[in-house]
Amino acid sequence: MVATHALPVGEEDSAKRRQILDGARKVFMTLGFDGASMGEIARAAGVSKGTLYVYFTDKNALFESIVEQEKLEQGKAVFNFDTARDAEATLAEFGRGYIQLLCRPGGGSAIRTVMAIAERMPDVGKRFYEAVLAHSIRQLAAYLDARVKAGELKIDTTELAAAQFMMSCQATLFQPFIFQAKPTPSPEEIDRVVDSALRMFLAAYRA
Amino acid sequence: MVATHALPVGEEDSAKRRQILDGARKVFMTLGFDGASMGEIARAAGVSKGTLYVYFTDKNALFESIVEQEKLEQGKAVFNFDTARDAEATLAEFGRGYIQLLCRPGGGSAIRTVMAIAERMPDVGKRFYEAVLAHSIRQLAAYLDARVKAGELKIDTTELAAAQFMMSCQATLFQPFIFQAKPTPSPEEIDRVVDSALRMFLAAYRA
Amino acid sequence: MVATHALPVGEEDSAKRRQILDGARKVFMTLGFDGASMGEIARAAGVSKGTLYVYFTDKNALFESIVEQEKLEQGKAVFNFDTARDAEATLAEFGRGYIQLLCRPGGGSAIRTVMAIAERMPDVGKRFYEAVLAHSIRQLAAYLDARVKAGELKIDTTELAAAQFMMSCQATLFQPFIFQAKPTPSPEEIDRVVDSALRMFLAAYRA
Amino acid sequence: MVATHALPVGEEDSAKRRQILDGARKVFMTLGFDGASMGEIARAAGVSKGTLYVYFTDKNALFESIVEQEKLEQGKAVFNFDTARDAEATLAEFGRGYIQLLCRPGGGSAIRTVMAIAERMPDVGKRFYEAVLAHSIRQLAAYLDARVKAGELKIDTTELAAAQFMMSCQATLFQPFIFQAKPTPSPEEIDRVVDSALRMFLAAYRA
DNA sequence: CATGAATGAGCATTCATTCAT
DNA sequence: TATGAATGAATGCTCATTCAT
């Protein structure tokens, strides 16, 4: 049995709800949780302030929905982890795509915004980490498992190795980027750093 | 002739000023710039709200002083970069100390807080990055330079290598920690991760 | 097409807006710009403090609207300047009305309040002077022009003469009134002073 | 017997007290009662805020003393009311001096400042009016009395006539000046207005 | 359902005043 | 006496939230 007059709050996917989420994401990601005001969100979404409260019980709930949505979208960023391809090409391609994603304008926004609030909203932080960051690690680790099985690599703990590779690809790029200490890195810089990280990785883990 | 009754604002080191900075640091680091209220800071510092404004012109100035102080203190964290010591022991010890510093309770607070505000206060972000993060990288790079000269290591760009090592030491530890996804890592976990990072590093860069 | 739900700020004539203006006028005129607090204004207007800011961007804007409104209302005070009537009766009637207006309870309030702020808000002062005081002078001057043409009066500069008449009607009445040195003058006092001013005026300017 | 250790408050004329009054006058006359802060006054006077309270019980008392002092100084502005001199020359000279006094830069300040506060501090307003404005009127009236007796003038109520003359000298000059609607009038303008007021006065009151 | 007017608690900041030295 | 550090109440203003329409 389906409710014919379901409350908007219940509808997980009305057009209005999506419209609000889209406006709110921009504002939250730009200004952070505290810096974002419900008024500005309403304006960005093109709805009235009152309507916000029809779809979301309060600012926190709206923010959590944004993070939820962000999790889904960042989770969608698929990399070509064809387990038949060799590690060198696959990892180089993945590393470049990964850093480009992180360091594109607005790319660190979700990470920054969620990290900023993590102390006050630990659940939000934890769920985001699990769904986005740990998820990527697990994807890469699964690929590494396959290449270990294929005899190309020799790795004890693939999850740790995956995280190591991802972190070393960020070296000198991501932190200056989110701290606004350097501008968006060029493709050449990314290539250089990822190549270096890849060389280190293969030196250690090539079978 | 020296002013015997310098204005508080000018005094770089009165007890009250330190008292305020101490209280403010706790509040800012816990709640972030926007989440912290001058009232709460006053309470935490054990002074009246008015006194805050005797020592600091406004909330921004107080915050920037906190970040400045944090820079000094984090910059003081000296590691034993005796250029005569061999890389394996030195890097292992450094890596462990570095991760313990980052992941100690409250350890990521400054990084989190400054990163969170970096979009709105780019100068603060940039200066913090330079003084703390880039500073550590440079220190380590200088050590690596020495070991390259000593013939123990073979590295093209020591600054990149330094950053790579530092980042890979963080793998599976720092991000879950600041996202509140995992508790403070145990010394054993840190050992395991740093050892792994070190093995990878040496595999790539041992001469 | 007309917006059916215009923003309050844009509505030049909502009931709430008028209600706020009414409350604010009392408070501003009694306590002056600095003495008036937005809280007291809200109380006097019977609205919340927040509502004040829905209709006016800030305290200055509210004050300027009050002065604007006062200009309109004081400008409406029309006198019978029938150019066919003879000067003696017309000026006597005008003088009495003018002084009664200035010296009625609360009558000097706008003048006092605007004069008080004129140094810090010169535009407000200037516009008020032009719209209210200079406006009255010009009205009277126009009437005098007509009577000069009619051959009843002989005046070189009617604007100066108009101002002279208006000022001499105030003699011993208006200044003590706004300085709170004497109570509201009685109609008899007003008659006596206006008559005397009129006699002086006619002695000088009757053709 | 003289107190050797008289409290400052009791000393009516210590150098410090005068120093404070001088600083406070500038600030009060420029910014008005509410606009002036005790901090700014202390700075202008070159003393500490605490010292202000050694000599004056509070801001009101300090302000009242300023007005008191202003009364004394403005009362000192003596005009040449030689009862032997003829009215035409005497009044012309007086009128010019009077308007120049009122309209000199900072000249309307005391009047403006006291008038602004008169509703909230009626006693201050009343005493200032009596000591300054009414005082001038009485001085001029006394001179007129003499000239009436001398047979040069024929006036019913010299006090009213005095006030009339003083007011008509202000015509088109003083009000625009305090409302910041026109700049300080030139000597030529003053001459023209005072001459015109004088002609009107003599036309009415010459014996 | 959607609106936006209205609210009131909360914020950063100022300032008259006090008081130990 | 003179200081200036310290206070806390008050101010202008913002904003999440409510609710009548």
- Give the tens place of pLDDT for each residue, C117-131: 999 999 999 999 999
Candidates B84, B80, B81; CA nearest to B151 is B84
Rounded CA-CA distance A107/A96 in Å is: 14
- Chains D and A touch, using 3 or more CB pairs below 8 Å: no
Phi, psi of C72 (to 5 degrees): -60, -45
Q: How far is A4 from chain B (nearest CA, A)?
A: 40
Q: How far is C1 from chain D (nearest CA, A)?
A: 42
Residue C7 has pLDDT above 80, yes or no: no
Q: How far is A2 from chain B (nearest CA, A)?
A: 38
- Chains B and C touch, using 3 or more CB pairs below 8 Å: no
Phi, psi of D153 (to 5 degrees): -120, 160
Q: What does the pLDDT read at residue D12?
A: 62
Candidates A102, A115, A33, A129; CA nearest to B113 is A115
Candidates D145, D115, D150; CA nearest to D129 is D115
Candidates C153, C140, C21, C29; CA nearest to C78 is C140
Cβ(D87)–Cβ(D94) below 8 Å: no
Q: What does the pLDDT read at residue C79?
A: 86
Q: What does the pLDDT read at residue C59?
A: 97
Neighbours of D76 (CB within 10 A): 7
Q: What does the pLDDT read at residue A80?
A: 85
Nucleotide closest to B56 measured between CA and C1':
E13
pLDDT band at B182 (very low <50, low <70, confident <90, very high): very high
Mean pLDDT of C179-185: 94
Mark yes or no for CB contact A179/B125 under 8 Å. Answer: yes
Handedness of CA C12, C14, C20, C23 (dihedral sign): positive
Nucleotide closest to B6 measured between CA and C1':
F4
pLDDT band at C56 (very low <50, low <70, confident <90, very high): very high
Q: Could you identify the residue whose CA is nearest to the C1' atom of nucleotide E14?
A: B50
Neighbours of B158 (CB within 10 A): 21
CATH code: domain A15-70 is: 1.10.10.60
Q: What does the pLDDT read at residue C12?
A: 63
Distance F15 C1' – B58 CA (angstroms): 21
Among 1.10.10.10, 3.90.1150.10, 3.40.50.300, 1.10.10.60, what is the CATH number of D15-71? 1.10.10.60
| Continuous segment of H or E residues that includes residue C97 | helix C87-103
Mark yes or no for CB contact D167/C168 under 8 Å. Answer: yes
**Quick one: chain B helix, strand, coil %, rounded to 5?**
70, 0, 30
CATH code: domain A77-205 is: 1.10.357.10
Write out pLDDT tens, residues C136-160: 999 999 999 999 999 999 999 999 9
Residues 6+ apart with CB under 8 A from A191: A96
Rounded CA-CA distance A124/D97 in Å is: 78
Rounded CA-CA distance B55/B76 in Å is: 25
Mark yes or no for CB contact B32/A166 under 8 Å. Answer: no
**Which of A195 and B74 is assigned the larger pLDDT?**
A195
Q: Splitting chain A (207 residues) into consecutive groups of 10 residues, what average pLDDT does each group show?
A: 42 82 94 94 95 96 93 81 95 96 86 92 94 94 97 97 98 95 95 98 96
A neighbour chains, 3+ CB pairs within 8 Å = B
CA-nearest residue of chain B to A105?
B119
Q: Which residues of C touch D37 (CB under 8 A)?
A: none
Q: Where are the domains of chain D?
A: 15-71, 78-205
> Mutual orientation of helices D109-117 and D59-76 as an angle, nearest 10°?
140
Q: Which residues of B touch A122 (CB under 8 A)?
A: 180
Chain D 15-34 residues in 7 Å CB range of strand F: 16
CA dihedral A162, A165, A170, A175 (to 10 degrees): 60
Cβ(A198)–Cβ(A91) below 8 Å: yes
pLDDT band at C35 (very low <50, low <70, confident <90, very high): very high
Phi, psi of B153 (to 5 degrees): -120, 160
Residue C75 has pLDDT above 90, yes or no: no
Q: Which residues of D touch C196 (CB under 8 A)?
A: 156-157, 160-161, 164
Chain B 36-95 residues in 7 Å CB range of strand F: 47-51, 53-55
**Residue recorded with tokens 């805020």:** D49
For strand F, which nucleotides have at least one atom less than 7 Å from a protein CB? 1-20
Mark yes or no for CB contact D180/C119 under 8 Å. Answer: yes
Q: What would be the CATH architecture of the domain defined by C15-67?
A: Orthogonal Bundle (1.10)
Mark yes or no for CB contact C34/D30 under 8 Å. Answer: no
Mark yes or no for CB contact A119/B112 under 8 Å. Answer: yes
Q: Which residues of B touch A160 (CB under 8 A)?
A: 171-172, 192-193, 196
CA-nearest residue of chain C to D120?
C31
Q: What does the pLDDT read at residue C10?
A: 44
**Residue recorded with tokens 């001179």:** D143
pLDDT band at C2 (very low <50, low <70, confident <90, very high): very low
Query: CA distances (Å), B178 to each of A121, A125, A147, B71, B107, in order?
Result: 12, 8, 31, 19, 9
Write out pLDDT tens, residues B120-160: 999 999 999 999 999 999 999 999 999 999 999 999 999 99
C neighbour chains, 3+ CB pairs within 8 Å = D
CATH code: domain D78-205 is: 1.10.357.10
Q: Which residues of B touch A166 (CB under 8 A)?
A: 171
Identity of the amino acid at D205: Y
State which residues of chain D have pLDDT below 70.
1-12
Q: Could you identify the residue whose CA is nearest to the C1' atom of nucleotide F9?
A: B50
pLDDT band at B12 (very low <50, low <70, confident <90, very high): low
Candidates D28, D30, D113, D115, partner chain C, best to mutate (most C CBs within 10 A):
D115
Mark yes or no for CB contact C204/D205 under 8 Å. Answer: no
